[in-house]
Amino acid sequence: MPLTHRGYSVWISSNGGELEQFGTQIQEDDRSAITCWIPSVEGEKFQMSAAFGAFRGNDPGVPKVSSGSWISSNEIKPFLFSRLALTDDDSVATSAPSDLGTIRLSFWRVVYSDDFYKGRITSADGTVRPEGPVHERCKKAGSHVVILGSAEVADAPQPETRMSYSWVDPCDKPYGTFIFRYRPLDLLQAKGLAPLPGPGPDTKHEIVKVEDTESDTGSETERDSDSDSGAEEIRALEEKLREARARRAGKRKYPGKSETFKKLKVEQADLSGYFQPGEIIDLTFD
């Protein structure tokens, strides 16, 4: 959804879709400013869009789009996300600019007159500040910056007729400011600024329920995908359970037989009627 504040709606699009916003909040020290985080992708073009009320010759809510810097009436250098260069050169300052990785859009109220004039919009080259390498001790590894890409033909030529206007808000106090702080999505997730991805839609869950019972019919198996091998494994485990119980009760049960072998009673036999005390018995064979 667009970032909405003070009657304005602003959003940034890339690769055919609006970039998701995270951590939206109004600044405590400047209630006219609203901030959020957006994910950036190295090498991707982006454009900024804004919608507000009706004014001369425009329908309410028709967005105004800025996708780069005009270099002629039909050529533009597009905005691009690029990787921030790092250096270990100690001659470079070890502190990064406070607005590094920030896109700021400010709006002023004006009153239009009936006068028209011809002239192109001033090139936006000055609003994209070149960011040279920053020292690696700034701990900005993996961050992005905004650069201007190679010139290309614009989707529509730039209009040359403008309407005259007078300012309502002071130049140093815009009516509304939108601040988009951009970082790669994995960095936003690592810092807890964006949610981690959930499980995929193809994830399958397997549920197995085994009831402990003496009978062969005492197990119930529920599976998302029917598996004969799983059922066989359960029956084998139940058989081992029954055998263990039988051994614990002083019995031993053999597979396929129902007999139970008990301990034999040993009795001492009286052989006094057959042999005399001290008599030698020859057990060898001739």
Question: Domain ranges in the chain?
Answer: 3-190, 205-256
What's the pLDDT tens digit per position in 67-112?
A: 998 888 889 999 999 988 777 777 666 666 778 889 999 999 888 8
12's CB contacts (< 8 A; 6+ apart) are 18, 19, 38, 46, 47, 48, 49, 103, 180
The residue ranking higher by pLDDT, 3 or 53, is 3
Assign 3-state DSSP to the chain and report helix, strand, coil percentages, each to 5: 10, 30, 55
The residue ranking higher by pLDDT, 113 or 227, is 113
What's the pLDDT tens digit per position in 165-185?
A: 889 999 999 999 999 999 999
pLDDT at 221: 44
What's the pLDDT tens digit per position in 101-154?
A: 899 999 998 888 877 766 555 544 446 766 667 766 666 656 888 889 999 998
The residue-averaged pLDDT of 36-60 equals: 81
Element spanning 79, H or E: strand 75-83
**pLDDT at 246 > cutoff 50:** yes
CA proximity to 101, closest of 125, 70, 134, 150: 134
pTM of the entire predicted model: 0.62
How far is residue 62's CA from residue 160's CA, in Å, rounded to a whole number?
19
Contact status, residue 223 vs residue 204, Cβ threshold 8 Å: no
Pairing mode of beta strands 33-40, 75-83: unpaired
